[in-house]
Amino acid sequence: MYQAPGYGGSSHHHPGYASGGSVHSNHSTRYSRPASNYSYQPGPPPGTDPTLWTYFTGVDTDRSGSITANELQQALVNGNWTKFDLDTVKMLMSIFDVDRSGTINYNEFAGLWKYIQDWQGVFRHFDRDQSGTIEGHELAEALRSFGYNLSPQLLRLIEQKYASAPTSGYGPPPGITFDRFVRACVVVKTLTESFQRADVNRSGYVQFSYEQFMSIVLSAP
């Protein structure tokens, strides 16, 4: 079974760095920084990985010392150079903004960076045809390898919902870009865990009040 990246630093095999999503660390801003007296550039914390610090300061374009959601959205791009959806950025912020400050500090960034790298490995592994997007059968294989045994109907719903464009009547839905693939997997994980928590006697059925049902659904990314 393949392991979906966890929040706490799971590690697994990385097939390579050929495609998939990436953090576009805007190195050019390091040289075009205005010579303002008011721009405070804190140094790296002791023991910092210099490469990671370079990425962090590249994403932190206003040199505030922490990364806003907007800076993160500017920095995160899919393999086809499209930006991450706001909903994926919000999901990442909610996972890694541990101190709920609304921004990502360097320590939080280290976790975020690892998480994205882990997911890049997963994405490239399952993007068998290296098309840069995950197609239906690749999605099915990925979710199966994570331990989710979903019906063809559910797989089709996920394929359509997370496709990076609407489905036309002719042919299959378009593929799923990196950021939407991560979101799809996290949503399936979150909903499945919520269902299992509610199914206390493992009957395969749950009883929900309206409040419980809506709360579970609206809490998922």
For 89, other C-beta atoms within 10 Å of its C-beta total 19
- Contacting its own copies within 68-97 (CB under 8 A): 69-70, 85-87, 89-90, 93-94, 97
Site map for its own copies, 90-129, x if CB under 8 A?
A: x--xx--x-xxxxx--------------------------
- Residue 195 binding its own copies, by CB under 8 A: yes
* Residue 63, helix vs strand vs coil: coil
CB closer to its own copies out of 28 and 151:
151
Structure-block tokens of residue 6: 């966890």
Is 175 within 8 Å of 133 (Cβ atoms)? Answer: yes
- Residue 191 binding its own copies, by CB under 8 A: yes
**Closest of 174, 217, 183 to residue 198, by C-alpha:** 217
**Separation CA 68–CA 63 (nearest Å):** 11
- Residue 38 binding its own copies, by CB under 8 A: no
C-alpha distance from residue 196 to each of 119, 156, 158, 191 (Å): 24, 22, 19, 9
Site map for its own copies, 146-175, x if CB under 8 A?
A: ----xx-xx--xx--x-xxxxxxxx-----
Q: Provide the minimum distance between the beta carbon of 199 and its own copies in the complex, in angstroms, as a whole number.
A: 8
**Closest of 62, 71, 59, 49 to residue 26, by C-alpha:** 59
Q: How far is CA 43 from the centre of its chain?
A: 28
Instruction: Choose the stretch contacting its own copies; rule: CB under 8 A; options: 35-43, 51-59, 138-146, 206-214.
Output: 206-214
Q: Provide the minimum distance between the beta carbon of 192 and its own copies in the complex, in angstroms, as a whole number.
A: 8
Interacting residues with its own copies (CB under 8 A): 69-70, 85-87, 89-90, 93-94, 97, 99-103, 150-151, 153-154, 157-158, 161, 163-170, 188, 191-192, 195, 199, 204-211, 213-215, 217-220
